[in-house]
Amino acid sequence: MSEYKDYGWEEGATHAHSYLYNDLKAMIGSDKNITILDIGCGNGEMANRLISEGYDVYGTDGSESGINVAKKKNQDRFFVQDINSKLLPIELQDKKFDKIISTEVIEHLYNPRGYIEFCKNVLMKNEGGVKW
């Protein structure tokens, strides 16, 4: 696996996932009083951009090198995820998330149904269950 890099997502820059940003932001909506989890955040470019715009976002990834890059911009927002665990990293286990984002992740998984179940369980911690 190659090492993650910080591509410095700036206005007008072309990042590998920049083509997704406007559509993703439209799906998230303008409510910044929610907590978002970016599962498979890679080097944190997407989550860090959302954070810079005032969204409350945390990210997890199975790559320690990716998380190290992400933490350069927001130290307390990114955590290594054990992809074989059914739990979030310990730092996030008591946090309630309103939405989950995950870009270009599912195609890399051996058990996509297990991944969806994991996401459902994370969201179910909110009172009233999943917000569809």
| Superfamily in which the 18-124 domain is placed by CATH | Vaccinia Virus protein VP39 (3.40.50.150)
Distance (Å, whole) CA 129 – CA 86:
18
pLDDT at position 11 over 50: no
Q: Residues of the chain with pLDDT > 90: what percent?
A: 61
What pLDDT, on a 0 to 100 scale, did the predictor assign at position 132?
A: 45
CB 48 within 8 A of CB 74: yes
Count Cβ atoms below 10 Å from residue 36 Cβ, excluding itself. Answer: 19
* Beta pairing, strands 56-61 & 99-101: unpaired
Question: Sheet harboring 78-80: ordered strands across?
Answer: 78-80, 56-61, 35-39, 99-101
pLDDT at position 116 over 80: yes
Of residues 26 and 106, more confidence is placed in 26
- Beta-bridge partner residues of 80: 61
Of residues 66 and 108, more confidence is placed in 66
Q: pLDDT category, 32, cuts 50, 70, 90?
A: very high
What pLDDT, on a 0 to 100 scale, did the predictor assign at position 3?
A: 57
Nearest to 59 by CA among 92, 98, 20: 92
What pLDDT, on a 0 to 100 scale, did the predictor assign at position 127?
A: 61
Give the contacts of 50 (CB within 8 A, at least 6 positions apart). 25, 28, 36, 38, 57
What pLDDT, on a 0 to 100 scale, did the predictor assign at position 1?
A: 44
